[in-house]
A and B are shown apart, each in its own frame.
Chain A
Amino acid sequence: MIESHLSLLIVAIPLIAAPVVAVLPNGRAPWLFSTLITWSVFYLAILQLTNVLTGGVVSYELGGWAPPWGIEYRIDSVNALVALIVSGIAAISLPYALTSVAKEIPKKQTSLFYAAFLLCLTGLLGITQTGDIFNLFVFLEISSLSSYALISLGKNRRALTASYQYLIMGTIGATFFLIGVGLLYSMTGTLNMQDLSQRLPEIFEHRTIHTAFAFIMVGFALKLAMFPLHLWLPNAYTYAPSIVTIFLAATATKVAVYVMIRVIFGVFSLHLIESTPTDELFLLLGMAGVIAASISAIYQTNAKRLFAYSSVAQIGYMVLGIGFGSVLGLTASFVHIFNHAIMKAALFMALGAILYRTGSNQVKDMRGLAHKMPWTFAAFVIGGLSLIGVPGTAGFISKWYLVLAALEQQSWIVVVVILTGSLLAVAYVWKLVEIMYFNSGSNASSKTSSEDIKEAPLSLLLPLWLLVIANIYFGFDTSLTVGIAEPAAKMLLGDKP
């Protein structure tokens, strides 16, 4: 029973659980229930991935309506992997949530928080699972609306404006997407992505199709915070509660990148983006994003905001991979979706642990913390090294494939940009490492106030270190990341070299 409805259950379980959590009494119960739910979803996602890897593409007809009329959940190795990332990050961040949420979110809102969290998870998983482009929009709205709510829970009152800003931008993005979908529907009469991809090639020359493509691209460029449409992201990440930042940074933008790839290669085709300036535009914006956002990151005074800008830069790398339109490029993008999820989650968890103890994520308040919170600091350093792409960490594998893809296309300028991006990452990561590692310059007054700071509690450290170990592990064993990403890229490109 579970086997045959697996694809649906992954979405349905958190969806049904969300209202249940909302009515649970505030306190530990909502947390316990949500943890249970996310771990079972995680288990199902693993099951789904192994099924897809052994048995090939799974097609699930919602309510028994045959596609293209009914909604189809179409699972191949690409979305099975993304679903695994999303549910995995949720599963790892929930044990972290208990302590962190108790500190950062008022007790009377806890059950609502967990309900919104589960809804957000539902939305993100739904986006990855579905094979229907309108259904995708519905899940997009579920995840977006719940994430606006989650961000607004931040302690700082600026969380409200940040959330509002995100709401405006996100709604514009979603509307653009919907307009594009509408245009496609008017031209083809179908909303099933598989079906669309078969009908579209005949009418590629049609101007409406180009318009639809442009609307969808811009809409999702907003959602995935592609440079220069990233302005909502730094505020949202900075003022959201730690746990929300961890979850959204590791999953929401990744899912958006996935949709971008799916729509470009699974609905439209490589042919279309190569006949239009889209691929050049992607490369250009990707490069601009990597450089501009990395430079902005260096000058930030708030550590969370710093890594928010770094996220924009990292998204630039994924966009570059899409722009290449080659197997290697897409492989690099997928691998980086995975690797960036685990490194950013680790880094934001470390910042969350620091916030828990010091009450601040301002760079200047982190002075000398390495000696008080050595384990958090060590985790932070390893996460940072992974972000830089130092060999022996997951980030290195991403950089490896990305540079290789650029070399294959002989685009030297992209090679230079990628490596420069790594060097800029050294600058902004080491800025924090230095301030935490060196005690110098700290005056007596700040010392006395921070004397009671000690190592973060185990409930924060364990999930953090789990991710840190994952960062090292996936730097050596790439059978999960590259092993899945490479055939997936080949499949999306239709075996075109």
Chain B
Amino acid sequence: MTAEWAMILAVLIPLFGALLIAFTGKKPNLRESMSLLTSLALLTTVLSLLPTVLAGNQPSVTLLDIAPGLAIKFVLEPLGMLFACVAALLWPINTLYSIGYMRGNKEQHQTRFYICFAIALSSTMGIAMAGNLLTLFICYEVLTLSTYPLVTHKGDEAALKAGRVYLGILLSTSIGFLLLAILWTWYLTGTLDFKAGGILDGKVAGPELIILLFLYMYGIGKAALMPIHRWLPAAMVAPTPVSALLHAVAVVKAGVFTVVKIVVYVFGLDMLKLSAGADWILWLAGFTIIVASIIALRQDNLKRRLAYSTISQLSYVILAIFILAPLSTAAAALHIAAHAFGKITLFFAAGSIYTAAHKTNISQLNGIGYRMPWTMTAFSIGAISMIGLPPTAGFLSKWYMLMGAFQEQQLFAVLVIIASTLLNAAYFIPIIYAAWFKQPEQHEHSYGEAPMAIVFALMITAALTLLLFFFPDVPLQLATSIIGGQP
């Protein structure tokens, strides 16, 4: 199988899986096996592409030309490979978790759930491998639309309202700003291809460059840069596996991935260094990191606290990329992976607590560590990774981020990173402390660990968070080759 075919397959396998799920919808066991099989097939396909990319190749396929110069095109470069690997790796685990969670909570419409999930993964693969802005934009919109039924899964009044916020913000930013930015780029350059060093270089300058940059940054609503972050906490009404999909596997990751991709391959680092606009975005990202952390500190609902934590962590990626140093670019790419593993563990744990103990608030978690030891161990590992302490993946990306900031003498970025690390610690450590060291309240109904599938899934992701610290070679090589080994 050539790399080109494997790329096409990576997009088609989840779609085909969606069909299989639809046909086997009447038999839950068969349906879930199909879902798992599809996700494993996707993982195999994506991993088979890894050696090619590590060897420095960039396979590319043009599917069709919409108009002269406008093509549906896939190109696999290191950054996309990293993102595709993360998503493909987390999907089977998430599926396993979903099976436990959806059955444990007796959710309705499970067939629809698995179908939409598969379609979302297909579009995520499309985003990861997009060879130009148009392909990326199409897949970006498909991802928004396919996750809408997932966010509104419960189908009640609250879900309807959350869905409205979700779709309203994501669609209006992408149509209002991102599409305009893409069209403007096309008008200026006559191409939408991603190119090392950027395609806009020398084509736009001064205030126009700043406007274009802001159109891109606020057009990518999925990156949740303040003040367009509201959709993310709103989407918390969805079942936990969906939150995991939004926060770790696909949606927000697709957002920051797009940001990195556009900065590196559309603007180019060198060009942005000369513009004041880049500094403004850096400040906005810093602002988002701090403010979101402070809001997170004040949340008692566990999932909401995690949601605000995600908003702040996403801006780490934006901050890192806008330091505009080679090292921090690698850090941005690494952080996409590191945050994915850590955050999915945290959400799995939150869902596990909800399934087993029916608790949603942090104030109810006293002493829970002894009733659900596996869950809370995993939670602690995830939290440590969020704070950025060794031996977890979060440390790695933060380290490179700081190095890059020092290299560029970005004192502001350094201060933000330090301050936010303290804030992260301030909102995660109390949870860990309460879980392990506080006495449980009396007269509590008894409960134990969550179903096997859930516990198993969250143990894997916690292990991955640790493993990424000890064996960072492959992601590190991919991340550094974004800035280094460009043809």
Contact of B66 with A403 in the complex, beta carbons under 8 Å? no
Per-residue CB proximity of A420-453 to B under 8 Å, as 1/0? 1011001000100010011111000000000000
Task: Decide: A419 near B187, CB < 8 A? Known: A385-B145, A440-B157, A476-B72.
Answer: no
Question: Among the listed B66, B156, B159, B176, which residue makes an inter-chain contact with A419, where contact means beta carbons less than 8 Å apart?
Answer: B176
1/0 per residue B429-462: CB within 8 Å of A?
0000000000000000000000000000000000
Chain A interface size, as a band, is: 20 to 34
Q: Are B180 and A391 closer than 8 Å at their CB atoms?
A: no
**Which A residues between 206 and 223 are near B, CB-CB below 8 angstroms?**
none
Q: Is B152 an interface residue (CB 8 A)?
A: yes
Q: Which of B152, B159, B172, B179 has the most CB of A within 10 A?
A: B179
| Bound-state Cα–Cα, A390 to B66, Å | 15
Q: Does A487 contact B (CB under 8 A)?
A: no
Interface residue stretch chosen among B133-141, B312-320, B414-422: B133-141
Check if A407 sits within 8 Å of B176, measured CB to CB.
Answer: no
Nearest B residue (CB) for A482 = B67
Decide if A391 touches B164 in the complex (CB within 8 Å): no
The answer, yes or no, to whether A469 is at the interface (CB within 8 Å) is no
Q: In this assembly, does B171 line the interface, its C-beta being within 8 Å of a C-beta of chain A?
A: yes
- A430 B175 Cβ-Cβ under 8 A: no
Compute how far the CA of A268 lies from the CA of B2 in the bound complex, rounded to whole angstroms: 58
Chain A positions within 8 Å of B134 at CB level = 391
Inter-chain contact A440/B155, CB cutoff 8 Å: yes
Asked whether A392 is an interface residue with its Cβ less than 8 Å from the other chain, the reply is yes
> Is residue A69 contacting chain B, with contact meaning CB distance below 8 A?
no
Q: B142-192: which have CB < 8 Å to A?
A: 142, 145, 149, 152, 155-157, 159-160, 163-164, 167-168, 171-172, 175-176, 179-180, 183-184, 186-187
The answer for the CA separation of A438 and B154 in the assembled complex, in Å, is 9
Once the chains bind, are A392 and B142 in contact (CB under 8 Å)? yes
Interface contact B141-A439, CB-CB below 8 Å: no
Q: Does A160 contact B (CB under 8 A)?
A: no
Known: A423-B176, A426-B172, A476-B72. A390 touches B145 (CB 8 A): yes
Residue of A nearest to B184 (CB): A407
A397 to B134, CA, bound (A): 12
For residue B1, CB closer than 8 A to chain A, the reply is: no
Q: Judge whether B180 and A415 touch: CB under 8 Å.
A: yes
Known: A477-B66, A478-B66, A478-B67. A434 touches B183 (CB 8 A): no
A482 to B67, CA, bound (A): 8
Task: Give a binary string over B125-137; 1 marks a CB under 8 Å from any A CB, 0 the rest.
Answer: 0000000001001
B145 touches A400 (CB 8 A): no
Question: Which of A400, A408, A420 has the most chain B CB atoms closer than 10 A to its own CB?
Answer: A400
Distance between B70 CB and nearest chain A CB, rounded to angstroms:
8
Q: Point out the residues of chain B lying under 8 angstroms from A434, CB to CB.
A: 160, 163-164
Q: Is the CB of A430 within 8 A of B167?
A: yes
* A321 sits at the interface (CB 8 A): no
Residue A404 CB within 8 A of the other chain: yes
- Taking each of A391, A399, A415, A437, which has the highest tally of chain B beta carbons within 10 Å of its own beta carbon? A391
Q: Does any Cβ of B come within 8 Å of A389's Cβ?
A: yes
Q: Across the interface, which residues of B come within 8 angstroms of A391, CB to CB?
A: 134, 137-138, 141
Q: Is the CB of B172 within 8 A of A423?
A: yes
In the assembled complex, A388 has its CB within 8 A of some CB on chain B: yes
Known: A391-B141, A392-B138. A477 touches B64 (CB 8 A): yes
CB distance from B392 to the nearest CB of A (A): 38
In the complex the two chains form, is B172's CB within 8 Å of A408's CB? Answer: no
* Cβ contacts under 8 Å, B184 to chain A: 407
A residues lining the B interface (CB < 8 Å): 385, 388-392, 397, 399-400, 403-404, 407-408, 415, 419-420, 422-423, 426, 430, 434, 437-441, 476-478, 482
Besides A423-B175, A477-B66, 4 more A-B contacts (Cβ < 8 Å) are A389-B175, A397-B67, A426-B171, A441-B157
- Can you list 6 A-B pairs, Cβ within 8 angstroms, ordered by A? A404-B187, A423-B176, A426-B168, A426-B175, A478-B67, A482-B67
